[in-house]
Structure 1
Amino acid sequence: MRINNYSFLTFSCYFQIIKNTDLEELRELGSGTFGTVYHGKWRGSDVAIKRIKKSCFTGRRSEQERLTFDFWKEAGILSKLHHPNVVAFYGVVQDGPGGTLATVTEFMVDGSLRQVLLRKDRHLDRRKRLIIAMDAAFGMEYLHSKNIVHFDLKCDNLLVNLKDLSRPICKVGDFGLSKIKRNTLVSGGVRGTLPWMAPELLNGGSIKVSEKVDAFSFGIVLWEILTGEEPYANMHYGAIIGGIVNNTLRPTIPSYCDPEWRRLMEQCWAPNPAARPSFSEIASRLRVMSTAAQTRKSGS
């Protein structure tokens, strides 16, 4: 599909246009509603290639134009983000198979944090889990400083590199739902993924929301990192929605959870957005906890 000139001229000045012939696909990493992600090479360097499915552009012309515009807008946003805990964006492919679009980003060798937590051969002690959580908080602090709300923060969208066994690296990725914060209005459909969604995203109607929806999601992420499990795994969606909206449902905190982790987690998923900490505060508290864990490990 051809992109409309307005989208291209408006956003293309921000980033590199990468030729499809310069890319080599090695293997598929995963597939979703809108696209398929591959591990590939771009001129010898490892990259992740996210190809937008052609089916996304087979609907009404107005819908095609909206999707195309959103794609270029997102690429424009991503190209301006530069932080060690945010996945690096390299450029856009506009001459993929059948004229399809793709984004090319940094490749994280161990994939998503969800995949790592499921792998029993990778033992992450408390210190490493704290470092991973702290990295994610640093990345989110940066995004919020740029007025970007992620809207879909979960372990599937946190990417990790465990090559250095003593110091794991975690980066925030997958900005498919991200929006510039100014007067963020949520209407017409759900934004995010159950059960990481804040109550204010689920209680119906058109409402203004703040970056605190990401803090709520991070509370659930902290529980995932702590337990290695997925929240509400055996519950029906209807029951999850009702429980979150009525503030009667939160993941069960295991008895081995230490008080600081519990306190931070519970504050993040507080019903009232104003009661949730900022990511600056979250990152600061996790740094203190991480330093204490390192001191304990050194002293043992």
Structure 2
Amino acid sequence: MNIPAISDYGLILGEKLGQGSYANVYKAQRRELRPNGTREVLAVKCIAKSKVCVTQTAQDNLVREIDILKKLSHPNIVRLVDFLWDKNNVYLITEYCNAGDLSCYIRQTSQFPPGSSNKKLFSLPEPLTRKFLQQLAAAMRYLRSKQISHMDLKPQNILLTIEYDKSITLKIADFGFATKLSYTDRATSLRGSPLYMAPEMLKGGSYDVRVDLWSIGVIIYECLFGYPPFSSENLNGLINKIVSDEPVIFHSKPSLSPCCRNLVEKLLKKDPRDRITFYEFFDHPFVDEKYSPNFKLFSEVNDHAYLKKDQKSERDELRRIIKNVLTTAEQIKQDLSLPNVARNEDNACQEKKLLIEMWSDSPQFEAAIKVKNFAEAILKKVVHQTCESESDIPIALEKYELCIESLLKILNDKRSSFDPNDDFEKNRLKSLKLFIESSLNRAEEIKNYLEVKRLQFSAKSVEEKEQQAEASVEEKTKRLVDENFCRLHLSPSSNARLDL
């Protein structure tokens, strides 16, 4: 297949990996050989301009995907290597995942659960499902730190790579429906695939970031049982089942551990108010993210820092890991520059003033806000480099945790004497809960930064040696838009809709 832009870029296009309504995905290799005599393998998503130009939705989805992917760097998110275009196509060049997607993997994996009368089930064992979930949670924590909601999580958009040590790495792909959404934001547009859509989205009302948690619940259910929790012969029947008040059915085989079932039940609460929050999800014992493969991988950087020169593949892997560490550290540090309660400064100030007014009768709340402000002042000095070192960041974390502890005590005390008929009390408790959740996320950002900084002992020297002169992605984005390609817009608030 002769594609001019790809040929000029130095890629040899190979087998077709997948096909969609307006794009094909191919396996590709670089023409140039690496020092060890092999060629780098990549994936190329070829998007036909003639099809993507038909609707504004498709245009917005494409540019949003490029705009988001170029800013992401995480071991569990598919890496965008580059993108280019010619008169017929736009090409997204990404890393190649050699084990297909999670949907195919589930269909190819069989087991004989205890008590199944030797009946083969095409599903994943609970321990393997947990390992995959830990990696998915690591990616979602990173996306939440960027206030990004994926909006189309499903097994087909989760790719797998078998590493040189035979371990399997999970990577989230396809960010066409992704959007910026903070914990306090709400959206209304219909996005994603109906089988994995949350009930509140299918009902046509507003929703928040917890729609991704519902999708994760459906994915985990499908991993464990081999099929999603809802099915129907037609779309209307499927939607009716998802939005109904009937709880999700858990079959007896395979049997689940109480911890696993508890998490899936909390993820698949049809009322989003009853659904688990992201903070609770990350902290759930079945997720137990601090022991996930990615944290182990990062902690082993020091062990691999002095590999022999002939260990080319291992050194390449080390460089990739360390680059992720460096990139993540800088991104998290930039995130520390603004409070996590709504990145828009005007909205944040307005919300904070309103919250302070609502709780003006509580000296405990006033004291907690002062502690939080003190922590933010420390972070501001660090980010703007007005202090000599970053040794004060742990103090900021300590103050944040003290603030959260005080706010949780206020929330629990007020809940015990809460009058459900008092609308004012109901609204201020809801506002306080959202404020606590955003503060918890802020504390997690600080923890992430401290953890990554701890791993930077040898990263900078490796980064300096490995830097390559690359064309500016920002400049290429501007060129793509300047060529008047389909009236593209980079606004993260584009109101993309899925036509069912």
Please classify the TM superposition score into its range, dividing by the shorter chain length.
Answer: 0.7 to 0.9
Q: Give the match's secondary structure for 1:49.
A: strand
Q: Give the match's secondary structure for 1:273.
A: coil
Q: Does 1:107 align with 2:96?
A: yes
Partner of residue 83, structure 2: 92
Contact 1:152–1:193 (CA<8 Å) still a contact in 2?
yes
Shift of 1:228: 2.5
Q: Deviations over 1:271-300 (max 9, x none)?
A: 222332334432443344997xxxxxxxxx
Matches within 5 A, 1:107-256: 107-120=96-109, 125-163=125-163, 167-181=167-181, 183-187=185-189, 190-204=190-204, 207-248=205-246, 250-255=248-253, 256=255
Q: Deviations over 1:17-70 (max 9, x none)?
A: 9875422211111111231111112453211111113442453xxx46x64454
Shift of 1:118: 0.7
Q: Distance in 2 between matches of 1:290 and 1:147?
A: 21
Q: Give the match's secondary structure for 2:13.
A: strand
Q: Distance in 1 between matches of 2:104 and 2:165?
A: 17
Shift of 1:128: 2.1
Partner of residue 268, structure 2: 269
Distance 1:252 1:179, change over 3 A: same
Contact 1:154–1:196 (CA<8 Å) still a contact in 2?
yes
Q: Distance in 1 between matches of 2:7 and 2:282?
A: 39
Partner of residue 281, structure 1: 280
Shift of 1:165: 6.8
Partner of residue 294, structure 1: none
Distance 1:69 1:150, change over 3 A: closer
Q: Deviations over 1:234-259 (max 9, x none)?
A: 54321221121123263544341111
Greater Rg by CA: 2
Q: Give the match's secondary structure for 2:16.
A: strand
- More strand as a share of residues: 1
Partner of residue 338, structure 2: none
Q: Give the match's secondary structure for 1:267.
A: helix
Contact 1:133–1:225 (CA<8 Å) still a contact in 2?
no
Distance 1:115 1:165, change over 3 A: farther
Q: Give the match's secondary structure for 1:185.
A: coil
Q: Deviations over 1:193-251 (max 9, x none)?
A: 122111111112xx432110000011111101112224434543212211211232635
Q: Distance in 1 between matches of 2:276 and 2:227?
A: 24
Q: Give the match's secondary structure for 1:161.
A: strand
Distance 1:196 1:18, change over 3 A: same
Distance 1:249 1:201, change over 3 A: same
Q: Distance in 2 between matches of 1:91 and 1:170?
A: 21
> What is the percentage of aligned positions where both structures have the same residue?
28
Contact 1:26–1:40 (CA<8 Å) still a contact in 2?
yes
Contact 1:253–1:262 (CA<8 Å) still a contact in 2?
no
1:31 pairs, out of 19, 30, 35, with 19
Q: Deviations over 1:168-201 (max 9, x none)?
A: 21111111111111545323xx311122111111
Distance 1:124 1:249, change over 3 A: closer
Q: Distance in 1 between matches of 2:52 and 2:219?
A: 33
Q: Deviations over 1:116-148 (max 9, x none)?
A: 111147995432221111101111121122111
Given residue 32 of structure 1, which amino acid in structure 2 is its aligned partner?
G
Q: Please, what is the CA RMSD of the aligned residues?
A: 2.9
Distance 1:289 1:72, change over 3 A: closer
Given residue 107 of structure 2, which amino acid in structure 1 is its aligned partner?
L
Given residue 74 of structure 2, which amino acid in structure 1 is its aligned partner?
H
Q: Which runs of 5+ in 2 are unaligned?
A: 33-38, 112-122, 292-500
Matches within 5 A, 1:21-100: 21-42=9-30, 43=32, 44-57=39-52, 59=54, 63=55, 67-68=58-59, 70-95=61-86, 98-100=87-89
Given residue 42 of structure 2, which amino acid in structure 1 is its aligned partner?
V
Q: Distance in 2 between matches of 1:149 and 1:210?
A: 9
Contact 2:150–2:178 (CA<8 Å) still a contact in 1?
yes
177-186 or 239-248, which deviates more: 177-186
Contact 2:109–2:124 (CA<8 Å) still a contact in 1?
no
Q: Which runs of 5+ in 1 are unaligned?
A: 1-16, 292-300
Q: Distance in 1 between matches of 2:61 and 2:195?
A: 25
TM-score (norm 2): 0.48
TM-score (norm 1): 0.78
Work out the number of aligned pairs and report it.
Answer: 266
Distance 1:257 1:71, change over 3 A: same
Q: Give the match's secondary structure for 1:208.
A: coil
Q: Distance in 2 between matches of 1:166 and 1:289?
A: 21
Contact 2:64–2:178 (CA<8 Å) still a contact in 1?
no
Q: Distance in 2 between matches of 1:20 and 1:155?
A: 34
Q: Distance in 2 between matches of 1:274 and 1:20?
A: 52
Given residue 104 of structure 1, which amino acid in structure 2 is its aligned partner?
I
